[in-house]
Amino acid sequence: MLELLSYGDSGWGDEIIAGLSVTLSLALATLPFGLLAGFFIALAQNSQDATLRAAANIYTTVFRGLPELLTLFIVFYGLPLFLNAVYGLFHPAPDLQINNFLAGMLALGTVFSAYAAEVFQSAFRGIAKGQYEAGTSLGLSWIRTMRFVIVPQLLRLALPGLSNLWLILLKETALVSAIGLPDLLRQTGIAARVSKEAFLFFGVACLFYLLLSILSSFAIGYIERFTQRGEKI
Amino acid sequence: MNHSAHSTYIARDKIFTAARLLGVFLLFLWALLAASAAYAVVSDYATYGKYFATFLRGAGTTLLLVGISLLIGAVLSLPLALARNSNTLLPRFLAYCYVYFFRGTPLIAQTFLVYYGFGGFREFFSTVHLWWLFRDPFYCALLVFSLNTAAYQAEILRGAIASVPRGQTEAGRAMGLSPLMIFFKITLPQALIIALRPYGNEIIIMIKGSAIASIITVFDLMGETRRTFSRTFDYNTYLLAALMYLVMVETLRRVWVKLEQRLTRHLLR
Amino acid sequence: MKSTLSKLVTLVASLSLITTGSAFADGHLRIGTEGAYPPFNNLNADGSLTGFDIEIAQALCDEMQVECEFITQDWDGIIPALLANKFDAIIASMSITEERKKKVDFSEKYYNTPPAIAVAKNSSITSASVPDLAGKTIGAQGSTTHSNYAEEKFSQSEVRLYPTPDEYKLDLENGRLDAVIDDVVVLSEWVNSDAGNCCKVVSTLPIDPVINGEGAGIALRKGEDELREKLNAAIKAIRANGKYAEINNKYFDFDVY
């Protein structure tokens, strides 16, 4: 059994570690993209303009209502079609190719941003009107009010919700194994089929995900204490 | 709810126009997507009608799978939640490990672990007369989903029980009720009302998560969609399935809001 | 922390996320294959590709004097990936069928073998007939001519679809399936190996031209006529010059053409 898990030609250790790094880099690459998109969608949901609000609300309703697996397939197969259709307006023979990693990242980021928007939304509600007024009366522009007054408070308020989304994102990366990205689950799956030790290898996969969750919980606890350092008396 | 306090400050004249432009453009994109899918369906309604009938059967399987899992999960979650709140170390620790495992690992990995992992132990399961359970992919999915949702429901229930004010139990005790009576007649009903909203979310999460069953050969809505797509490579099949999932989830969400309003109307003043 | 971040940036940058160009024009052909279908195409433990399809593809590339690059892709997404320009040709034992011709073009066939049924060695199923398999569970790889065959011809059996042959092999071995259907060469190779000693091939099935098509060909995006003509000429050439026979004899003891 140890030989099956060893590093090198006879074991699957190196393949599994490679899969782990794909899982981690996918989650880490999705996070900033998803956060940024989520933030802007939340802004749009708070906009005074009804059309922008409606467009943003359709987005969150759709992507929070669809199975993540289906979103993954839709984005994975649909994105190249869509981009090439757009590209085709300017180019006679559209031939864009989208890397699998990018497609997976965009698909996961789409789902993440829809949920992150809701978290930001409720965080926005936790910030008093006076904070905006204070920014304006100090003569700060809208962007500077956001940057120096609102966003720092927003992040603290949104942190518990976002931490939860991060833990969900880590687990959701496992779905990309179904569209062919060599992540942790796919690599252990190949090992399981070839070696016929399915229980061992899927057990190992579960343990690795558990480990990632535990490590994340520690990191989140640390970040939460850091952001709350100004709240202590 | 969308008129947040600060929106008036964002919407100065210049940005107002930009927001309107962007909003109209994005709405146009959504409309375009809907129109192109609708056009494809209408222009070949015979084919899509056939897909729709197949997908309905798949949606039935999805609802059956989710419904039974949620019920089994609800039954399992009660002892789990009690063990999590227990004063004795061992049950508290075991329940904690159970919940942590199922919440800390992906549902898809759990599904593979049970379907392919346990599939290797046929002889053992045959001797304990449980192979019928592990032989069938639908039962395997049912088992994993039940165990998974039990962990999440246990956490919902535990939180809700903990948030019922202490005075309620004390009042029950003062009236001379037995602990069992206090729990089932006083604490639990109030806890369930508090848990109503997270329960609704859990049902939606399960409907969406159940698409994973398609990977272990169950023909649920997602399974039927993938089967159809694999023969036709028609991208609209995915959009049709998306619409059906949305209808299921949105209907449930709206019904749930109504239900919550009705069950909590005595709390309004 | 900083070094991790810079590593990540390099990683993302090195992935060359969006690229353009149909590469065939500059003497470079990207070939999509599955890598899970021994003995036709399979991944070695070190990640390299091997098999009949791969060697034929290599011979065709040598014949056409182009440089070939292989890209592995899961079977159920292989045609969408071709259409999405992830590669220029599919050489992965894909049968030439009318259903697929609606979406892609095909070269001439480069081999043609019938489907077959395999069962456990101690199975009560003794023939691949409809009554023998009625009420039984048949496994097949999804999105294949074999799964279509099973669904059309064995309508009284329950058909389960798997992403790769590896999964149906596991489920036939542990008894979740009563039978599996696939190419006779694939199944024979498996039951004659150590991995497949649980099972045996019952018999081959008659080819249905509508379902099974005209044999395995090379799939191309529609309209790539120049590439198709070159591939057809190359297939003819390796059939004539003995290269095909050489590869054929390395893998099989009969002519699969």
For residue A46, count other CB atoms closer than 10 A to its CB: 24
Residue-number span of the structural domain to which B222 is assigned: 46-261
Structural Rg of chain B based on CA atoms: 24
Least confident of A212-216, C52-56, C160-164: C160-164
Q: Tell me the per-residue pLDDT of C95-104, one tens digit each, with 9 for 90 and over.
A: 999 889 989 9
Q: Tell me the per-residue pLDDT of C194-236, one tens digit each, with 9 for 90 and over.
A: 888 899 999 999 999 999 998 999 999 998 999 999 999 999 9
Domain count of chain B? 1
Does the distance separating the beta carbons of B7 and A47 come in below 8 Å? yes
User: What's the average model confidence in pLDDT over B134-149?
Assistant: 96
Does the distance separating the beta carbons of A180 and C74 come in below 8 Å? yes
Residues of C in contact with B214 (CB under 8 A): none
- Alpha-carbon span A18 to B15, nearest angstrom: 47
Q: Tell me the per-residue pLDDT of C71-119, one tens digit each, with 9 for 90 and over.
A: 988 898 899 888 888 889 999 999 999 889 989 999 999 999 999 999 9
| Residue of C12, C45, C166 lying closest to A29 (CB–CB) | C12
| Tokens representing residue B82 in the block | 């009690």
B137 has a chain C CB within 8 A of its CB: yes
Nearest residue on chain B to A184, alpha-carbon basis: B109
C210 has a chain B CB within 8 A of its CB: no
In a domain, B67, yes or no: yes
Query: How far is A232 from chain B, CA to nearest CA, in Å?
Result: 25
In a domain, B123, yes or no: yes
Residues of C in contact with A81 (CB under 8 A): 83-84
Residues 6+ away with beta carbon under 8 Å from B161: B81, B85, B187, B188, B191
Residues 6+ away with beta carbon under 8 Å from A24: A212
In a domain, B19, yes or no: no
To the nearest 5 percent, what fractions of chain C are helix, strand and coil? Answer: 40, 25, 35
Residues of C in contact with A99 (CB under 8 A): 15-19
In a domain, B2, yes or no: no
Q: Which residues pair with C68 in a beta bridge?
A: C29
Question: Higher confidence at residue B264 or residue A21?
Answer: A21
Residues of B in contact with C79 (CB under 8 A): 233
Residues of C in contact with A180 (CB under 8 A): 73-74, 77
In a domain, B8, yes or no: no
In a domain, B195, yes or no: yes
Q: Which of C205, C198, C197 is nearest to C140 (CA)?
A: C205
Nearest residue on chain B to A198, alpha-carbon basis: B117
Query: How far is B164 from chain A, CA to nearest CA, in Å?
Result: 23
| Residue of C8, C21, C45 lying closest to A25 (CB–CB) | C8
CB A183 within 8 Å of CB A23: yes
Question: What CATH number does residue B191 fall under?
Answer: 1.10.3720.10
In a domain, B219, yes or no: yes
In a domain, B266, yes or no: no
| Tokens representing residue A211 in the block | 């480990």
The position carrying tokens 């060599």 is: A182
CA distances from B41 to B51, B83, C35 (A): 10, 52, 36
Domains, in order of start, for chain C: 27-112+214-251 (3.40.190.10), 115-212 (3.40.190.10)
Residue A24 phi/psi, 5-degree rounding, is -65, -45
Q: Which residues pair with C69 in a beta bridge?
A: C30
Residues 6+ away with beta carbon under 8 Å from C34: C41, C72, C73, C74, C75, C78, C92, C93, C164
The position carrying tokens 């579960």 is: A206
A128 has a chain C CB within 8 A of its CB: no
> Which chains lie within 8 Å of chain A at 3 or more CB pairs, if any?
B, C
> What number of C-beta contacts closer than 8 Å exist between B and C?
35
> What number of C-beta contacts closer than 8 Å exist between A and B?
179
| Residue of A73, A196, A199 lying closest to B118 (CB–CB) | A199
Q: Mean pLDDT of all residues in chain B?
A: 90
CB B215 within 8 Å of CB A178: yes
| Residue of C76, C167, C174 lying closest to B230 (CB–CB) | C76
| Touching A: B residues 237-266, CB under 8 Å | 238-239, 241-242, 245-246, 249-250
CB C179 within 8 Å of CB C139: yes
Burial B23-55 (b: 16+ CB within 10 A, else e): beebbeeeeeeeeebeebbeeeeebbeebeebb
Is residue B252 scored above 60 in pLDDT?
yes
State whether ipTM is beyond 0.95: no
Give, as one character, the DSSP assignment of residue A146: I
**Residue A129: per-residue pLDDT:** 86
Write the secondary structure of chain B as one string of H (helix), E (strand) and C (coil).
CCCCCCHHHHCCHHHHHHHHHHHHHHHHHHHHHHHHHHHHHHHCHHHHHHHHHHHHHHHHHHHHHHHHHHHHHHHHHHHHHHHHCCCCHHHHHHHHHHHHHHHHCCHHHHHHHHHHHHHCCHHHHHHCCCHHHHHCHHHHHHHHHHHHHHHHHHHHHHHHHHHCCHHHHHHHHHCCCCHHHHHHHHHHHHHHHHCHHHHHHHHHHHHHHHHHHHHHCCCCHHHHHHHHHHHHCCCHHHHHHHHHHHHHHHHHHHHHHHHHHHHCHHHCC
Nearest residue on chain A to B112, alpha-carbon basis: A202
Does the distance separating the beta carbons of A66 and B208 come in below 8 Å? yes
Q: What is the residue-level pLDDT of chain A in tens, covering all 233 positions?
A: 667 777 766 678 888 999 999 999 999 999 999 999 999 999 999 888 899 999 999 999 999 999 999 999 888 888 877 787 788 777 766 667 778 899 899 999 999 999 999 999 999 988 888 888 898 899 998 889 888 888 888 888 999 999 999 999 999 999 999 888 899 999 999 888 888 889 999 999 999 999 999 999 999 999 988 887 777 65
- Alpha-carbon span B9 to A120, nearest angstrom: 18
